[in-house]
Structure 1
Amino acid sequence: MSHRNARLTVFGRRLLVERVCSGRPVAHVAAEMGISRATAHKWIRRWRAEGDAGLHDRSSRPRTTPHRTAAAVEARVCELRQTRKLGPARIGPILGLPASTVHRILTRHRLNRLVFIDRPTGTVICRYQRDRPGELIHVDVKKLGRIPDGGGHKVLGRQADRVTRSSVGFDYVHSAVDDHSRLAYSEIHPDEKVATCAGFLARAAAFFQAQGITRIERVLTDDAWAYRKGLAWKNVLAGLGATGKLTPAYRPQTNGKVERFNRTLLDEWAYIRPYTSNDERTAVLTDFLQTYNHHRCHTALDGHPPISRVNNPAGQYGSVNRTV
């Protein structure tokens, strides 16, 4: 993925190299591609020294940060946050630091929001992730009203839509999200019966395997009958060599990653614009998933898309683990 302000993508840089290698002057190629001669020479020089790898962006992070707050001071900031639940405006005067510096420290240590912290103990409980892709898969179903031909209430208004709304039924969006990478897979079905759930899990496992997650160890779901008692569901789990785990009753937070993905589904796919038919909405789901997995910046992954976590399972992003 290129830097968001870069004039050329990796493809454009390859095109630049091809045109220069064909014998054309660097200045002419730079002008037609809208970049400076210095920039063009830079990419040619990198390509000659490193080959195709040299055309990819390098991290702009400095090798050393001599003015970064000392580790002991950062530890004191975290201690005050976890023991006394103080915010940046109150921690700053205690330690003689600007509030903005304290906020950056808390963000770096995943303590910037109190909802991430267990109030009695100060332990981080909400920000957790498994250590490797496939270690835990979250599965859930989201129920959506179908859209009648011609559009629903977002197109026709609630009065006009009220006549047909009760007869169109519902779609059931089955979703699976990998805990470590947030890689997601979804399908739309007319129900959430055992056979439907089992077939979805088998296809989700095949999708994850195609993306590089070769083994699924555990699958976390709510306590719906299909997951608790369904023989077909248990057979698929056994075939994958995976263990099924149920969330505690009335605790959907345990399955929070797929629950949060459901909200993203609604905001960025189901309700992002008025659709004139159910088929139109269904057809867009594949494009949404492609964008989500390969291009969309994920805030929990420091702005990287989920596929980057599969390609780099060790991860350059911090994590706090919790047993699930």
Structure 2
Amino acid sequence: MSHRNARLTVHGRRILVDRVLGGRPVAHVAAEMGVSRPTAHKWVRRWRAEGETGLADRSSRPRHTPHRTPRAVEARVCDLRRTRKLGPARIGPVLGLPASTVHRILTRHRLNRLSWIDRPTGTPIRRYERDRPGELIHIDVKKLGRIPDGGGHRTLGRQAGRATRGNMGFDYIHSAVDDHSRLACSEIHPDEKAATCAGFLTRAAAFFHDQGIPRVERVLTDNAWAYRKGLAWKNALAGLGATGKLTRAYRPQTNGKVERFNRTLLDEWAYIRPYTSNTERAEALADFLHTYNHHRCHTALNRHPPISRVNNPAGQYT
């Protein structure tokens, strides 16, 4: 969520307003949504005054910050960082500032890590992202071995698990990650054929739309046959009005955001605990995705969850 203590997303506020306008008592709707009656009245009042835009988050920054470091001093801090690669402990005495203040300034301008800066020019190079949600969606497939009933080697031990494994086959986890917000969705399928990939793309676009991303503009994938040659895939892109893009051959880092999401998927869902059946693991996916999108702190978003970037595409709070 955008604000640290915000209870509802923009989508949740829209549901609240619809229920109140449908004739239900505000107190009942507020109790259902887990908010106070004054909060419910506030969103209804804003909707009536401003329409859909009234449900968006507003910056919590105060109108005046008289004690903030002057812009000229901030520019000098950034200049010393870029040109001389100095850290807070050395910049502080030069400008007469506490090291903690210098660190906050560098963090604000994304200069706090030298690994993110091009050494010769001082230009930030590490992070890249699109300017708005939906501008680019990363898609990839992760292949996982199915779990036999009773559990595999993680539950029974390697020797016993090998005896029960047999020819279980594989699950194919299709995942889509929005480049700007890191909002993600995943589905489990028995294959990665063109028709399966196309169906997932259509449902992923519908998921993003329901979360507040009205349109998918571009889709980035690897060079698998289904994405390069699949007619069903091309038809799905055309139906969305989206453009398909392929990564460079043998350069998976081009699709790095979904590749990194796959690692999180394995660590925090697939391998987080021993499952006793393939069905048990599949049923746990929905809870993981909800936590990832709405509650899990994302380091690339200043420790906010991905849904915060959907509610605030300009990045006011991240």
Residue matched to 1:286: 286
Residue matched to 2:106: 106
Alpha-carbon contact 2:59-2:316 (below 8 Å) kept: no
Deviations 1:237-279 (A, max 9, x none): 1121111111223332222221222122122211222211111
Alpha-carbon contact 1:47-1:53 (below 8 Å) kept: no
Residue matched to 2:299: 299
| Higher gyration radius (CA) | 1
Question: Is 1:83 the counterpart of 2:87 in the alignment?
Answer: no
What is the alpha-carbon distance in structure 1 between the residues aligned to residue 225 and residue 119 of structure 2?
Answer: 34
Q: Secondary structure of the equivalent of 1:313?
A: coil
Alpha-carbon contact 1:110-1:127 (below 8 Å) kept: no
Question: Is 1:92 the counterpart of 2:96 in the alignment?
Answer: no
Residue matched to 2:220: 220
Question: Is 1:126 the counterpart of 2:137 in the alignment?
Answer: no
Structure 1 residues 47 and 118, CA gap change in structure 2 (3 angstroms): closer
| Residues 1-324 of structure 1 mapped to structure 2, 5 A cutoff | 61-165=61-165, 167-317=167-317
Structure 1 residues 74 and 194, CA gap change in structure 2 (3 angstroms): same
Deviations 1:284-309 (A, max 9, x none): 11122122223333333334332333
Deviations 1:184-210 (A, max 9, x none): 111111222222212211111122222
Deviation at 1:213, TM superposition (A): 2.0
What is the alpha-carbon distance in structure 1 between the residues aligned to residue 267 and residue 124 of structure 2?
Answer: 28
Q: Secondary structure of the equivalent of 2:107?
A: helix
Structure 1 residues 18 and 121, CA gap change in structure 2 (3 angstroms): same
Q: Secondary structure of the equivalent of 1:167?
A: coil
Residue matched to 2:20: none
Q: Secondary structure of the equivalent of 2:125?
A: coil
Deviating more after overlay: 86-95 vs 103-112: 86-95
Structure 1 residues 136 and 158, CA gap change in structure 2 (3 angstroms): same
Alpha-carbon contact 1:85-1:114 (below 8 Å) kept: yes
Deviating more after overlay: 233-242 vs 304-313: 304-313
Deviation at 1:127, TM superposition (A): 2.2
> Structure 2: any 5+ residue segments left out of the alignment?
8-12, 17-25, 29-35, 47-54
Provide the TM-score with structure 1 as the length reference. 0.75
Q: Secondary structure of the equivalent of 1:239?
A: helix
What is the alpha-carbon distance in structure 2 between the residues aligned to residue 226 and residue 51 of structure 1?
Answer: 45
The one-letter code sitting in structure 1 at the alignment partner of 2:84 is R
Structure 1 residues 83 and 246, CA gap change in structure 2 (3 angstroms): farther
Alpha-carbon contact 1:173-1:186 (below 8 Å) kept: yes
What is the alpha-carbon distance in structure 1 between the residues aligned to residue 190 and residue 41 of structure 2?
Answer: 56
What is the alpha-carbon distance in structure 2 between the residues aligned to residue 143 and residue 253 of structure 1?
Answer: 18
Deviation at 1:149, TM superposition (A): 1.8
Deviating more after overlay: 286-295 vs 77-86: 77-86
Deviation at 1:137, TM superposition (A): 0.6
Alpha-carbon contact 1:184-1:293 (below 8 Å) kept: yes
What is the alpha-carbon distance in structure 2 between the residues aligned to residue 87 and residue 163 of structure 1?
Answer: 57
Structure 1 residues 59 and 121, CA gap change in structure 2 (3 angstroms): closer
Structure 1 residues 50 and 88, CA gap change in structure 2 (3 angstroms): same
Alpha-carbon contact 1:136-1:179 (below 8 Å) kept: yes
Deviations 1:128-151 (A, max 9, x none): 322222111111112222222222
Structure 1 residues 98 and 205, CA gap change in structure 2 (3 angstroms): same
Greater relative contact order, per chain length (Cα 8 Å cut-off, separation 6+): 2
Q: Secondary structure of the equivalent of 1:86?
A: coil
What is the alpha-carbon distance in structure 2 between the residues aligned to residue 139 and residue 237 of structure 1?
Answer: 13
Deviating more after overlay: 205-214 vs 133-142: 205-214
Deviation at 1:60, TM superposition (A): 6.4
Deviations 1:167-191 (A, max 9, x none): 3232221101111222211111122
What is the alpha-carbon distance in structure 2 between the residues aligned to residue 148 and residue 156 of structure 1?
Answer: 11
RMSD, aligned CA? 3.3
Provide the TM-score with structure 2 as the length reference. 0.77
What is the alpha-carbon distance in structure 1 between the residues aligned to residue 86 and residue 243 of structure 2?
Answer: 41
Deviating more after overlay: 192-201 vs 62-71: 62-71
Q: Secondary structure of the equivalent of 1:168?
A: coil
